[in-house]
């Protein structure tokens, strides 16, 4: 399968990764969630080349994950903002941050702490069940595939 065919898969994860699964895009999203919205500042914090940054910003804009708004004219300069679709990536960013804290930091030194504004500094975001409110974990969950997904997966096995 070619990379550009991923968006045709009957899989929400595959389609999502097609749009945002690039390392640089994740770092751009990090900066936008940190309210760092200007090209030069994003470039400084990510270390990206201007070409790479401009290309990925254009892709994120095309995919309606971000929008650009002018803040200066002559020359025109833009700030970048997350759209509703982009803001919906918040749980993924929180999960990546928590995973990184667990597997890539020493001595409980967490580079970025995420705290609920209405709570104490010791609060941490958790994934909970929408029905009972209990924390969810991979070992205490199961999956259920749609009929379309099952047909797609079966067809791939036969090719």
Given a contact cutoff of 8 angstroms between Cβ atoms, the answer to whether 96 and 105 are in contact is: no
Q: Which domains does the chain have, with CATH numbers?
A: 3-88+126-157 (1.10.10.10)
Ramachandran angles phi, psi of 77, nearest 5°: -130, 150
Mean pLDDT of 28-39: 97
Residues in the chain: 159
CA 144 – CA 134 distance, rounded (Å):
20
Cis? peptide before 75, omega within 30° of 0:
yes
Mean pLDDT of 37-44: 98
Tokens found for residue 113 = 């702490």
pTM, rounded to two decimals:
0.87
Q: What is the pLDDT of residue 111?
A: 87
Tokens found for residue 112 = 């970025």
Q: What is the pLDDT of residue 1?
A: 65
Mean pLDDT of 96-112: 85
Write out pLDDT tens, residues 55-94: 999 999 999 999 999 999 999 999 999 999 999 999 999 9
Nearest to 93 by CA among 135, 44, 31: 31
């Amino acid at each position: 399968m070619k990379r550009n065919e991923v968006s045709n898969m009957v899989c929400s994860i595959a389609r999502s990764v097609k749009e945002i699964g690039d390392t640089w895009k994740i770092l751009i999203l990090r900066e936008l969630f940190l309210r760092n919205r200007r090209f030069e500042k994003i470039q400084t914090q990510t270390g990206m080349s201007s070409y790479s940054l401009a290309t990925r910003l254009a892709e994120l804009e095309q995919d309606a994950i971000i929008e650009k708004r002018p803040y200066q004219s002559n020359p025109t300069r833009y700030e970048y903002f997350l759209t509703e679709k982009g803001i919906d990536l918040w749980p993924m960013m929180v999960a990546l941050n928590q995973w990184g804290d667990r597997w890539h930091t020493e001595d409980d030194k967490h580079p970025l702490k995420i705290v609920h504004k209405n709570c104490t500094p010791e609060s941490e975001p958790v994934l909970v069940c929408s029905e009972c409110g209990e924390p969810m974990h991979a070992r205490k969950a199961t999956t259920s595939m749609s009929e379309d997904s099952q047909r797609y997966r079966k067809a791939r096995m036969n090719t």
